[in-house]
């Protein structure tokens, strides 16, 4: 997706401002009065010229409310018109690109984007995010959010470990709502198509672009965890967008990740939260297992086009288990994800149908994880997630073999 072309009014405002040491962009619509009030304390003692970018939905209110509470410049940005059914991640990606494009036009030394709930628009999280990129210690700072054992399951079982395998960086949240980037990579993130021979993924994956550009990545522990407004969103639609976007990155960056042989931990700033959200309510796994079992019969023709026979037989064996005995081995799950990534590439089935067929597999993994972790502490669940991530790395030769010789592996 190319860098955004701004309207004439925005370009004039950029010329008036002239430049910036730091651009802080709010990813989404925000109450401008609240933003100004929060800025007074959030930016206290922050050096240099700061520009705060926000969605222009309330631009009129902002223009008439200049205040001496902060010396920061406030710059509204226009967002693309999105489908009403778009996910929070696509909305955030659109806002991120707009903010990064503003930062590129302002030739900012650093840029930070934060969630529109302003949970991390405070002195400490802003300092953790922005200081390393402003001081030249890092090119990208990604967040580590506090979470309980049942939070962010799609990230835990697929997004984070697959990104770790591909790019060699043990980043906890590769698809994040808050991050900071250095001047070196602002233009590259603003125009994700630059230097690529294939279209960029529809979502924003900053780790991928920085890692392939040999940038330095760090993490920062942030206190605020964002609530996802996913009510009314279909699980298949969410999986289609998130998994599909990452599978697009698998295809785009194949020349890079095939050379990556190991992952490395990131320097992580900040103190771990004393209180981790803990959801002790047991999950009802029976409907999820039933959905998985039904899929082994109804989706067999589709799965057969993607998954090798030996893996398909193992999935059918799982479908015969009692829900409380249902356990999906790590290697089975990992290889199935690799199979779907390859299926996305070779297109022997429409990508919409392919990603739709991933939903019951994901529900099967969630059921297995929930049963196994029912009585586990958050620390034990953390160890379990790390074990799964290691399984992704241990089985990378399988992905490499299937990627290079896809027909030979379908036996």
pLDDT digits (tens, 9 = 90+) for 17-30: 999 999 999 998 89
**Residue found by looking up tokens 């010229």 in the block:** 49
More confident position, 82 or 301: 301
Average pLDDT for 96-119: 95
Average pLDDT for 103-125: 95
Do you know the residue count of the chain? 411
Q: What percent of the chain has pLDDT over 70?
A: 87
Average pLDDT for 302-306: 94
Q: Residues 377-388: pLDDT tens digits?
A: 989 999 999 999
Contact (CB, 8 A) for 37 and 66 = no
pLDDT of res. 282: 78
- Mean residue pLDDT across the chain: 88
Average pLDDT for 51-76: 68
Given a cut of 90, is residue 144 above it in pLDDT?
Answer: yes
pLDDT of res. 1: 41
The topology under which CATH files domain 8-269 is: Spore Coat Polysaccharide Biosynthesis Protein SpsA; Chain A (3.90.550)
> For the ranges 78-92, 217-231, 321-335, 364-378, which has the lowest average pLDDT?
78-92
> For the ranges 117-121, 174-178, 185-189, 277-281, which has the lowest average pLDDT?
277-281
pLDDT band at 221 (very low <50, low <70, confident <90, very high): very high
pLDDT band at 5 (very low <50, low <70, confident <90, very high): confident
Paired tokens of 233: 């969103």
CA 15 – CA 36 distance, rounded (Å): 22
pLDDT of res. 59: 46
Q: What percent of the chain has pLDDT over 90?
A: 73
Q: Residues 66-93: pLDDT tens digits?
A: 444 568 999 999 876 656 557 788 889 9
Terminal CA-CA length for the chain:
38
More confident position, 137 or 281: 137
CA 184 – CA 55 distance, rounded (Å): 25
Domain boundaries, the chain: 8-269, 286-404
Residues 6 or more apart whose Cβ sits within 8 Å of residue 112? 22, 23, 24, 25, 126, 129, 130, 133, 178, 179, 180, 181
Specify burial of residue 84 (Cβ count, 10 A radius: 0-12, 13-18, 19+): exposed
What angle is formed at CA 68 by the lines to CA 66 and CA 74, rounded to 5 degrees? Answer: 45
pLDDT of res. 126: 95
pLDDT of res. 202: 77
Average pLDDT for 251-271: 94
Given a cut of 60, is residue 164 above it in pLDDT?
Answer: yes
pTM of the model: 0.91
Q: What is the CA radius of gyration of the chain?
A: 22
More confident position, 283 or 232: 283
CA 311 – CA 28 distance, rounded (Å): 42
């Amino acid at each position: 997706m190319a860098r955004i072309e701004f309207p004439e009014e925005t370009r004039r405002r950029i010329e008036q401002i002239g430049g910036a040491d730091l651009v802080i962009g709010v990813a989404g619509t925000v109450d401008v009065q609240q933003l100004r009030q929060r800025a007074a304390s959030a930016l206290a003692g922050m050096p240099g010229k700061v520009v705060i970018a926000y969605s222009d939905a309330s631009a009129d209110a902002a223009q008439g409310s200049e205040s001496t509470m902060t010396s920061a410049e406030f710059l509204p940005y226009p967002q693309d018109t999105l489908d009403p059914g778009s996910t929070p991640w696509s909305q955030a990606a659109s806002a991120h690109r707009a903010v990064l494009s503003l930062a590129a036009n302002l030739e900012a030394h650093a840029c930070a984007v934060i969630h529109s709930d302003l949970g991390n628009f405070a002195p400490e999280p802003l300092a953790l995010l922005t200081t390393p990129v402003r001081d030249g210690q890092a090119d990208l700072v990604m967040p580590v959010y506090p979470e309980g054992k049942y939070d962010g399951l799609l990230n835990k079982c697929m997004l984070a470990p697959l990104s770790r395998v591909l790019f060699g960086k043990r980043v906890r949240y590769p698809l994040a709502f808050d991050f900071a980037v250095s001047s070196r990579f602002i233009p590259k993130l603003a125009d994700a198509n630059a230097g690529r021979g294939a279209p960029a993924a529809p979502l924003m994956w900053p780790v991928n672009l920085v890692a392939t550009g040999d940038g330095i990545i760090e993490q920062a522990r942030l206190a605020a965890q964002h609530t996802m407004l996913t009510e009314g969103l279909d699980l298949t639609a969410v999986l289609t967008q998130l998994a599909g976007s990452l599978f697009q990155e698998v295809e785009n960056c194949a020349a890079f990740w095939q050379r990556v042989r190991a992952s490395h931990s990131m320097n992580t700033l900040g103190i771990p939260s004393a209180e981790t959200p803990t959801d002790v309510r047991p999950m009802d796994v029976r409907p999820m297992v039933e959905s998985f079992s039904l899929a082994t019969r109804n989706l067999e023709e589709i799965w057969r086009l993607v998954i090798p026979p030996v893996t398909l037989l193992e999935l059918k064996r799982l479908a015969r288990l009692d829900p409380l005995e249902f356990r999906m081995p790590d290697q089975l799950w990992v290889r199935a994800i690799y199979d779907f990534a390859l299926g996305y590439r070779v297109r022997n089935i429409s990508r919409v149908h392919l990603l739709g067929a991933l939903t019951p597999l994901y529900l099967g993994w969630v059921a297995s994880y929930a049963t196994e972790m029912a009585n586990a502490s958050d620390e034990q669940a953390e160890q379990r997630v790390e074990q799964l991530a290691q399984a992704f790395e241990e089985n990378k030769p399988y992905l490499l073999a299937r990627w290079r010789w896809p027909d030979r592996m379908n036996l």
